[in-house]
Chains A and B, each alone.
Chain A
Amino acid sequence: MSTFDQTSLWIVIIGMALGSYVLRFAFIGFMGGRQMPDWLMRHLRYTAVAILPALVTPLVVWPSPTGGETSLPHLAVAALTFAVGYFTRNVLWALLSGVSGFLLLFLLG
């Protein structure tokens, strides 16, 4: 099942640990009260909201449980999860609906 080796895993863990820490420390540690350029802050505001959907979309359109074949039930569960999160503004309800939907797929499929 696993397609990556131990070395890769540890390189990623250590690289992410260092990288995340630098991101978190850079400003509070070094920048002091200096301002970042506006254009940069404006782009940074949209990183998570762009990267996460870009990661998710192919996984939903070509889901791995069907071997990558587009499946209406999987799309429906994904849409439900997203919609619940959007309308309730609550990650937990969204995750619960998603997991319930997944269980339904599992039991029916």
Chain B
Amino acid sequence: MASTTTKSLFLKGLVDSLPFLLVASPFGLLFGVLSAEAGLNVLEALAFSLAVFAGAAQFTALQLLQENTPLLIVLTSALAVNLRMGMYSASLTPYLGAAPMWQRAIAAYLTVDQSYALSIVKFEDEPEMSVPQRMAYFFGTTSVIAPSWMAATVVGAWVGAQIPASWGLDFVLPLAFLAMIGPMLRTPAHMVACFVAIVASLPATLMPHNLGLIVAGLAGMMAGAQTELWLEQATARSKAKQETAP
């Protein structure tokens, strides 16, 4: 009985994740194409996707590598892009933290935007789910996405190897990032963070070794955090005013 429900929850996760394939596959393809343009062979591109399994961070590292950035800065910047995975992991912990260690170890690898977004909504909506049921759903959400991401990388790397460098495909990379940024701007604080980072990034290019990226990023993060704090305080004040009003 219990195993039937975990099985059906795995399938439910799988089905719920299918729309995300439309996003993951083109980005996987693009990563493959651009890594080929950057000089990686198919095996190296696949190793990249397999080992890291995080689109935005992979694009960041690829771009910075081509700009001859010191490795420490490549790693810091790419991992900074991936910091949100830490937040996802933190926010899933109350729901999955009681699972066996080996399951948590695999779940950690499979924590990506799509699996997190689907699972956290499901877990919040259905608090009566047991830990094994939650794990089944979580694994279901990545069961198609993860292999598709790898397959798309391979196809992209193979296609990319046939495209001459003169096409100037490297400009597609900033476009891919821009496509990701728009939907991320959900609150005024997000917009402030983004705006400050944009403004700071231009003078920051004068800093050596692409260090400016980290400086501009930090400036944006601080601006976003501060805006969030101000907005919270403003809401709290107006609420307090309403409550004391006659």
Count of B interface residues, CB-CB < 8 Å: 100
Q: Known A20-B85, A102-B172; judge A25-B75 contact (CB<8 A).
A: no
Task: Looking at the assembled complex, report how far the CB atom of A28 sits from the nearest CB atom of chain B, in whole angstroms.
Answer: 5
B90 in the interface (beta carbon within 8 A): yes
**B178–A81 touching, CB < 8 Å:** yes
B151 in the interface (beta carbon within 8 A): no
Q: Known A4-B65, A24-B86, A53-B197; judge A29-B182 contact (CB<8 A).
A: no
B197 / chain A contacts, CB cutoff of 8 Å: 49-51, 53-54, 57
B240 in the interface (beta carbon within 8 A): no
B78 / chain A contacts, CB cutoff of 8 Å: 12, 16, 19
Give 1 or 0 for each of B18-33: 1 = CB within 8 Å of chain A CB: 0000110011001000
B1 in the interface (beta carbon within 8 A): no
Q: Known A43-B225, A46-B221, A51-B197; judge A24-B26 contact (CB<8 A).
A: no
B174 in the interface (beta carbon within 8 A): yes
**B89–A23 touching, CB < 8 Å:** yes
Q: Known A33-B94, A94-B183, A101-B175; judge A15-B75 contact (CB<8 A).
A: yes
CB closest chain-B residue, reference A95: B179
Once bound together, how far apart are the Cα atoms of A31 and B91, in whole Å?
Answer: 11
A74 / chain B contacts, CB cutoff of 8 Å: 171
Once bound together, how far apart are the Cα atoms of A53 and B204, in whole Å?
Answer: 13
**A3–B68 touching, CB < 8 Å:** yes
B47 / chain A contacts, CB cutoff of 8 Å: 13
Give 1 or 0 for each of A14-39: 1 = CB within 8 Å of chain B CB: 11110111011111110111001001
Interface residues of A in 56-109 (CB under 8 A from B): 56-61, 63-65, 74, 77-78, 81-92, 94-95, 97-99, 101-102, 105-106
Task: Looking at the assembled complex, report how far the CB atom of B45 sits from the nearest CB atom of chain A, in whole angstroms.
Answer: 10
B121 / chain A contacts, CB cutoff of 8 Å: none
**B48–A13 touching, CB < 8 Å:** yes
**B194–A27 touching, CB < 8 Å:** no
**B107–A28 touching, CB < 8 Å:** yes
**B189–A46 touching, CB < 8 Å:** yes
B157 / chain A contacts, CB cutoff of 8 Å: none
**B217–A81 touching, CB < 8 Å:** no
Q: Known A1-B39, A16-B78, A55-B77; judge A106-B168 contact (CB<8 A).
A: yes
Q: Residues on B close to A: CB < 8 A?
A: 22-23, 26-27, 30, 37-40, 44, 47-48, 51-54, 56-58, 60-61, 63, 65-68, 71, 74-75, 77-90, 92-94, 96-97, 101, 104-105, 107-109, 111, 165, 167-168, 170-185, 189-190, 193-194, 196-198, 200-202, 204-205, 212-213, 216-225, 228-229
For the complex with contacts A12-B78, A29-B101, A57-B198, 18 further pairs of A-B residues with Cβ separation under 8 Å are A12-B61, A12-B65, A13-B47, A16-B61, A19-B75, A24-B88, A28-B96, A29-B104, A33-B93, A46-B193, A46-B223, A50-B216, A52-B81, A54-B197, A85-B180, A94-B180, A95-B27, A95-B30
Q: Residues on A close to B: CB < 8 A?
A: 1-4, 8-9, 11-17, 19-21, 23-29, 31-33, 36, 39, 41-61, 63-65, 74, 77-78, 81-92, 94-95, 97-99, 101-102, 105-106
User: Lowest 5 CB-CB distances: which A-B pairs, in order?
Assistant: A85-B182, A50-B220, A2-B39, A46-B224, A65-B168
